[in-house]
């Protein structure tokens, strides 16, 4: 088993570190936040991810998993250093690589023996070449450093399962030695490994994410056309799902994709293509469709209502999808912003997303509107004039069609996740609008 250091303890770094420890490696996770480190040492995860805390506590107890802010101590004796820090989107759509650069500088100044540096963060094609050069530029000891690409393919909400039981592992290396070491690291996972050159590995990550994003936007585009021609997108999706060339996944129409991956990665690939003088028309269309889709229900509601000013509006679901507390690029956020601008009195429910939502939308008066958070869907619905459903949490699915009629002042529901059948809502006396039906 190898001595591994992991830079960054977000969705990528922490999950990777915990899973490496789970299969027997000696792992030290590095983060700059002392409070976060103490929290993780106590077995508490700073992110909401199913099964993560249980594995943290288990491997903390064995001594295979540690956390520190002392990057020098973590890096100096590591056989392999995985970089899992964020690469947030810049205003122009490019990736911000400043966190990567900071870690590279720290590695260059800390390593005391030959080491493999592995970039797990999603980075533009060619970044690993620059990382290797950057580390060599600042290296202060006579040691051999190689850089490899090992993009992650986890989904928030199922990240632990996606790591331990992945369909494949992608590694990008420029030497047989680096390839052999990475294969040794991943051998205990017993998962197929696809070994390619570094730039191909970087492109595989973007190509996969953008393809899935394209699939979602395509279904949303078809759903919008279904509404106009009188077809039902769920019937269409069911018919498509039997075609093995298409597959059954990512066919659900809705209010667009969010989170930390798809929005950022589609814009980053679009930006990269333009740098090379190439226009990725399919990806550009995907970005445009998704942007419009997020506020489609708001626009429908706006045309239905005289005003939102002073109306109680129920919002069910805040996170960009169920199973995570992440609100990055969540459709709910854009809609809440518009509703507050229109003077709405919002009562929002989410089983795990409220603490993060409060950072973006503090409770109380915001502009013309007001923001409130409640602990049950029923509290949000009580005397509401309109309801928006943004996330497919089980707690929200459990709300019955008749409950909207029972609790709301006006049983008017705009469902961005198609949680109900149109027939059930009609029979319950609910005015119901969904996507593609």
pLDDT reported for residue 89 = 87
- At residue 30, what are phi and psi to the nearest 5 degrees? -110, 130
Residue 92 has a pLDDT of 87
DSSP state of 126: T
pLDDT of res. 156: 86
- Taking only the tens of pLDDT, the chain with its 437 residues reads 899 999 999 999 999 999 999 999 999 999 999 999 999 999 999 999 999 999 999 999 999 999 999 999 999 999 999 999 999 988 888 889 999 999 999 999 999 999 999 999 999 999 999 999 999 999 999 999 999 999 999 888 899 999 999 999 999 999 999 999 999 999 999 999 999 999 999 999 999 999 999 999 999 999 999 999 999 999 999 999 999 999 999 999 999 999 888 999 999 999 999 999 999 999 999 999 999 999 999 999 999 999 999 999 999 999 999 999 999 999 999 999 999 999 999 999 999 999 999 999 999 999 999 999 999 999 999 999 999 999 999 999 999 999 999 999 999 999 999 999 999 999 999 999 999 99
Per DSSP, the three-state class of 86 is coil
The position carrying tokens 């009195």 is 345
Rounded CA-CA distance 402/84 in Å is 46
Instruction: Tell me the backbone φ, ψ of residue 345, rounded to 5 degrees.
Output: -105, 95
> What is the helix (H) or strand (E) element at residue 186, kind and residue range?
helix 176-186
Q: pLDDT value at position 259?
A: 87
* 66-68-70-75 Cα dihedral, nearest 10 degrees: 40
Q: What residue ranges of the chain are covered by domains with CATH 1.10.1040.10?
A: 205-292
> Where in the chain do CATH 3.40.50.720 domains reside?
3-196, 295-433
- Spot the catalytic one: 29, 261, 286, 387: 261
Could you say which DSSP state residue 417 is in? S
CATH code for 205-292? 1.10.1040.10
C-alpha 347/C-alpha 313 separation (Å) is: 6
Residue with tokens 């009562």: 347
Q: Please, are residues 381 and 407 in contact by the beta-carbon 8 Å criterion?
A: yes
Which residues, in sequence order, are bridge partners of residue 373? 348
Residue bearing tokens 């990665």: 265
C-alpha 255/C-alpha 360 separation (Å) is 20
415, two tokens:
């469902």
Whether pTM > 0.85 for this model: the answer is: yes
| pLDDT single digits (tens) 32-45 | 999 999 999 999 99
Q: Does domain 3-196 have CATH number 3.40.50.720?
A: yes
DSSP 8-state secondary structure symbol assigned to residue 187: G
Residue 232's pLDDT is: 97
Using CA atoms, how far apart are residues 328 and 337, in angstroms rounded to an integer?
Answer: 14
What is the structure's pLDDT at 211? 97
What number of H helices and E strands is found in the chain?
A: 19, 15
Q: What are the residues whose beta carbons fall under 8 Å from the beta carbon of 184, sequence distance 6 or more?
A: 2
Please name the residue ranges forming H helices in 42-97. 52-62, 71-76
CATH of domain 295-433: 3.40.50.720
> Six-digit token pair at 116?
């493999």
Q: pLDDT value at position 354?
A: 97
Characterize 234-266 residue by residue with b for buried, 16 or more Cβ atoms within 10 angstroms of its Cβ, and e for exposed.
Answer: bebbeeeeeeeeeeeebbbbbbbbbbbbbbbbb
Active site residue 387: no
Q: What is the pLDDT of residue 347?
A: 98
Nearest to 80 by CA among 162, 188, 12, 6: 6
pLDDT at residue 236, rounded to an integer: 98
Burial 151-170 (b: 16+ CB within 10 A, else e): bbbbbbbebbebbbebeebb
Q: Which of 195, 202, 205 is nearest to 173 (CA)?
A: 195
* Secondary structure percentages of the chain, helix, strand, coil, to 5: 45, 15, 40
Query: How many angstroms separate the CA atoms of 358 and 236, rounded?
Result: 38
Six-digit token pair at 155? 């989904």
């Amino acid at each position: 088993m190898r001595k591994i250091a992991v830079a960054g303890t977000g969705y990528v770094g922490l999950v990777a570190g915990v899973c490496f420890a789970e299969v027997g490696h000696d792992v030290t996770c590095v983060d700059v936040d002392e409070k976060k480190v103490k929290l993780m040492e106590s077995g508490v995860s700073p992110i909401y991810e199913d099964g993560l805390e249980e594995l943290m506590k288990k491997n903390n107890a064995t001594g295979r998993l540690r956390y520190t802010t002392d990057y020098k101590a973590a890096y100096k004796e590591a056989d392999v250093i995985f970089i899992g820090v964020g690469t947030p989107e810049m205003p122009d759509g490019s990736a911000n690589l400043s966190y990567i650069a900071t870690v590279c500088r720290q590695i260059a100044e800390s390593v005391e023996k030959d080491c493999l540096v592995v970039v797990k963060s999603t980075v533009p094609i060619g970044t690993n070449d620059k990382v290797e050069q950057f580390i060599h530029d600042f290296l202060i000891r006579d040691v051999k450093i190689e850089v490899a690409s090992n993009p992650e393919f986890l989904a928030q909400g199922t990240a632990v399962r996606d790591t331990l039981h992945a369909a494949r592992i992608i590694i990008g290396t420029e030497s047989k030695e680096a390839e052999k070491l990475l294969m040794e690291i991943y051998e205990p996972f017993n998962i197929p490994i696809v070994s390619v050159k570094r730039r191909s590995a970087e492109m595989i990550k973007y190509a996969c994410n953008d393809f899935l994003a394209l699939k979602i936007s395509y279904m949303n585009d078809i759903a919008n056309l279904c509404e106009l021609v009188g077809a039902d997108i769920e019937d269409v999706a069911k018919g498509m799902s039997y075609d093995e060339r298409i597959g059954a996944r990512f066919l659900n129409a809705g209010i667009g994709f969010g989170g930390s991956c798809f929005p950022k990665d589609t814009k980053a690939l679009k930006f990269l293509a333009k740098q090379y003088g190439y226009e990725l028309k399919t990806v550009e269309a995907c970005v445009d469709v998704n942007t419009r889709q997020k506020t489609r229900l708001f626009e429908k509601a706006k045309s239905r209502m005289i005003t939102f000013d002073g109306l109680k509006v129920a919002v069910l679901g805040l996170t960009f999808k169920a199973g995570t507390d992440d609100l990055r690029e969540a459709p709910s956020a854009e809609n809440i912003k518009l509703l507050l601008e229109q003077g709405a009195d919002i009562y929002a429910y989410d089983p795990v997303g409220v603490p993060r939502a409060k950072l973006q939308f503090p409770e109380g008066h915001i502009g013309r509107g007001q923001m409130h958070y409640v602990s049950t869907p029923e509290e949000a619905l009580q005397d509401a004039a309109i309801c928006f459903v943004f996330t497919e949490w089980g707690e929200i699915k459990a709300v019955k069609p008749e409950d909207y009629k029972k609790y709301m002042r006006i049983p008017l529901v705009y469902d961005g996740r198609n949680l109900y059948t149109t027939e059930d809502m009609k029979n319950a006396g609910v005015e119901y609008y969904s996507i593609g039906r």
